Amino acid sequence: MVAEMFPILLLLVVVMAMVAGMFVMTHMLGPRRPGDIKLSPYESGMEPVGEPRTRFSIRFYIIAMLFVLFDIEVVFFYPWAVVYKKLLSQGAFILIEMLVFIGLLFVGYMYAWKRGALEWE
93 binds another protein (CB under 8 A): no
In angstroms, the CA 72 to CA 74 distance is: 5
* Residues 40 and 48: beta-carbon distance below 8 Å: yes
Q: Does 104 bind another protein (CB under 8 A)?
A: no
Site for another protein in 31-60 (CB under 8 A): 31-34, 38-44, 48, 52-54, 56, 59-60
Nearest distance in Å: CB 111, another protein? 13
Among 47, 58, 67, 90, binds another protein (CB under 8 A): 67
- Using alpha carbons only, give the angle 52, 56, 62 rounded to the nearest 5 degrees: 145
3-state SS record for 31-85: CCCCCCCCCCCCCCCCCCCCCCCCCCCCHHHHHHHHHHHHHHHHHHHHHHHHHHH
Q: Under the rule (CB under 8 A), what is the footprint of another protein?
A: 3-8, 10-12, 14-16, 18-19, 22-23, 25-27, 29-34, 38-44, 48, 52-54, 56, 59-60, 63-64, 66-67, 70-71, 74-75, 77-78, 81-86, 88-89, 92, 95, 98-99, 102, 105-106, 109, 113, 118, 120-121
